[in-house]
């Protein structure tokens, strides 16, 4: 049986509620715009939480819009810039699953279609409401015969479509959960990248903080090998809010603490530390998942660089200045996790890598001894791997090899690369 992916639009495929955004455009010069905005948002939230019927909320919002076709053009331009980050980076998934990735929304085709079709979603797989216009192009209502304009509309639609296959629902609102409640879909994934509604998440089969997480859980093709929301980033000490904001916005799971608590040592993937925070040798030795440390100051006397090297932990600090580089360092940490860059690291070779699409990027950190690259490339040759690009730099006792490969590969390849003599750490980036 085929798998079908039933995806919501507002606050799921896009970061925002489109009708709320349309109101901000159409009412820009209205003297009572703030009170009308608030009323439209109130209707939205009541419907999403299941406290008001969808038909009532939809009618109430459309009546308040005072919008026309020219406002819709502006809205589409705006929404194209507001596609959720994790959806935006996974265009390849939609290309490969163009027959089975569907948009089902209580929103409107007039703005949904031009936003989602560049992502290889077919127009015939977009199910949404449609506006009614008067002769001057003003929005005066919607097609009330469309099942998506009614309470439980998504349930009604899927019953009519009678799809033969396994259905998975992804959305942020009560109408998405109703699909699970009806028994029409196999699993419901509450999407929380943009907004988290307790009334929805507590009833979901899974909470998915990003589309990457959904693809990972279901072992589907994805832009990054491991969802960033699964990487624990611990922020310790006096760290400005902007630093935490940068990493949170990038999708990492953030915890802010006064000290490096023992319960986090074995699970932490990233550490961002304020100046004068000490990390003990024992803590470093036990931090097996730790990939990078950012230090807002000079690490000398606070962190054992030799242990970091031995464990393949990339360190970024501000050794030349007492100024707390609260934006540069977290950005460098993110670029290492996202792209493999080690530029201006304290202990690793300085490497800035091109961002390449449709490849698998493999990072091999090893002791800087002769013959490592010969062993690595022997493994690739034995597995008939097509190498698109390869980068190697060394520094002191560390070697850093990055290989971009193309095409299918057997998972045994990864095992072979990890077993190469003098390997410190191996990672699939994407």
CA dihedral 203, 102, 211, 108 (to 10 degrees): -80
Which residues contact residue 172 at a Cβ distance below 8 angstroms, ignoring those fewer than 6 apart? 8, 10, 11, 12, 48, 190, 191, 192, 194, 195, 196, 197, 200
pTM: 0.83
Give the side-chain half-sphere CA count within 13 A for 3: 12
Distance between CA atoms of 176 and 6, rounded to whole angstroms?
Answer: 9
What is the model's pLDDT at position 50?
Answer: 83
Per-residue pLDDT of the chain (430 residues; tens, 9 = 90+): 899 999 999 999 999 999 999 999 999 999 999 999 999 989 988 887 888 888 898 999 899 999 999 999 999 999 999 999 999 999 999 999 999 999 999 999 999 999 999 999 999 999 999 999 999 999 999 999 999 999 899 999 999 999 999 999 999 988 898 999 999 999 999 999 999 999 899 999 999 999 999 999 999 989 898 999 999 999 999 999 999 999 999 999 999 999 999 999 999 999 999 999 999 999 999 999 999 999 999 999 999 999 999 999 999 998 775 555 789 999 999 999 999 999 999 999 999 999 998 899 999 999 999 999 999 999 999 999 999 999 999 999 999 999 999 988 998 999 999 999 999 999 999 9
Residue 133, pLDDT score: 97
* E strand residue ranges, 187-334: 187-191, 206-208, 232-236, 253-257, 268-273, 292-295, 314-316
CA distance 305 to 70: 59
Residue with the two structure tokens 């797989």: 125
Q: What is the pLDDT of residue 321?
A: 57
d(Cα 92, Cα 220) in Å, to the nearest integer? 11
- Long-range Cβ contact pairs of 180-184 (< 8 A, separation 24 or more): 180/204, 180/205, 182/152, 182/155, 182/158, 184/155, 184/158, 184/159
CA distance 199 to 234: 29
CA 210 to chain centroid, in Å, comes to 4
Q: Where are the beta strands (DSSP E) in 94-154?
A: 101-108, 126-129, 131-133, 139-142
Question: Do residues 8 and 78 make contact, with C-beta atoms less than 8 angstroms apart?
Answer: no
Strand 166-171 to 314-316 pairing:
unpaired
């Amino acid at each position: 049986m085929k798998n079908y992916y039933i995806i919501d639009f507002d606050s799921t495929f896009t970061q925002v509620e489109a009708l709320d955004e349309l109101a901000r455009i159409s009412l820009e010069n209205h003297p009572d715009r703030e009170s009308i905005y608030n009323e439209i948002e109130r209707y939205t939230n009541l419907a999403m939480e299941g406290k008001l019927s969808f038909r009532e909320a939809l009618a109430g919002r459309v009546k308040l819009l005072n919008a026309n076709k020219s406002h819709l053009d502006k809205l589409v331009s705006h929404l194209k810039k507001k596609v959720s980050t994790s959806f935006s980076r996974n265009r390849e998934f939609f290309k490969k699953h163009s027959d089975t990735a569907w948009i089902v929304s209580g929103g409107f085709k007039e703005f949904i279609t031009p936003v989602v079709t560049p992502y290889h979603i077919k127009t015939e797989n977009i199910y949404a409401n449609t506006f009614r216009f008067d002769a001057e192009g003003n929005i005066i209502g919607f097609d009330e015969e469309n099942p998506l304009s009614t309470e439980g509309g998504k349930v009604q639609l899927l019953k009519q479509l009678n799809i033969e296959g396994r259905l998975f629902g992804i959305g942020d609102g009560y109408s998405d959960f109703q699909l699970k409640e009806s028994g029409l879909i196999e699993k419901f994934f509450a999407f929380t990248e943009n907004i988290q509604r307790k009334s929805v998440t507590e009833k979901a089969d899974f909470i998915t903080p990003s589309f990457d997480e959904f693809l990972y859980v279901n072992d589907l093709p994805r832009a990054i090998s491991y969802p960033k929301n699964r990487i624990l980033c611990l922020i310790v000490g006096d760290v400005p809010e902007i630093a935490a904001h940068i990493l949170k916005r990038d999708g990492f799971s953030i915890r802010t603490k006064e000290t490096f608590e023992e319960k986090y040592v074995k699970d932490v993937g990233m550490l961002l530390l304020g100046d004068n925070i000490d990390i003990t040798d024992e803590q470093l030795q036990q931090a097996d998942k730790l990939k990078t440390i950012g230090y807002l100051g000079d690490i000398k006397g606070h962190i054992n660089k030799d242990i970091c090297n031995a464990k393949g932990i990339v360190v970024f600090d501000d050794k030349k200045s007492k100024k707390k580089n609260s934006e540069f360092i977290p950005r460098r940490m993110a670029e290492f996790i996202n792209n493999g860059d080690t530029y201006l690291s304290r202990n690793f070779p300085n490497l800035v890598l091109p961002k390449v699409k449709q490849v698998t990027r493999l990072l091999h950190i090893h002791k800087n001894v002769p013959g490592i690259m010969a062993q690595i490339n022997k493994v690739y040759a034995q597995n008939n791997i097509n190498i698109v690009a390869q980068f190697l730099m060394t520094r002191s006792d560390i070697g850093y090899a990055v290989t971009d490969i193309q095409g299918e590969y057997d998972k045994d390849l990864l095992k072979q690369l990890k077993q190469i003599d003098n390997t410190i750490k191996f990672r699939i980036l994407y």
